Amino acid sequence: MYEYKVIRTEMGWIISRKKEMGRLMILQYLNWYGLWTPNKWAARVFYKREDAVWALVVVKRKDEWEKSD
């Protein structure tokens, strides 16, 4: 199960997700194309926290929908 977060950066807000499997940890960031990337500098920047939270709701729902297929 992934743990989603909205993170404050110098430029604005970004969305990340983390999954731990034993000693392995996967950390990914949402990019401009709605895909997950391990590169923090390629993450989509939101200038308002409310926009990032709204995008997080959409992404979580999208991930749940893809998981159910």
For 12-38, what is each residue's pLDDT tens digit?
999 999 999 999 999 999 999 989 999
Q: What are phi and psi of 49, to 5 degrees?
A: -65, -35
Write down the pLDDT at residue 32. Answer: 94
Confidence of residue 8 (pLDDT cuts 50, 70, 90): very high
Instruction: With beta carbons less than 8 A apart as the criterion, state whether 31 and 43 touch.
Output: yes
Indicate if the pLDDT at residue 68 is higher than 80.
no
pTM: 0.87
Write down the pLDDT at residue 65. Answer: 86
Confidence of residue 69 (pLDDT cuts 50, 70, 90): low
Question: Encoding tokens for residue 2?
Answer: 């992934």
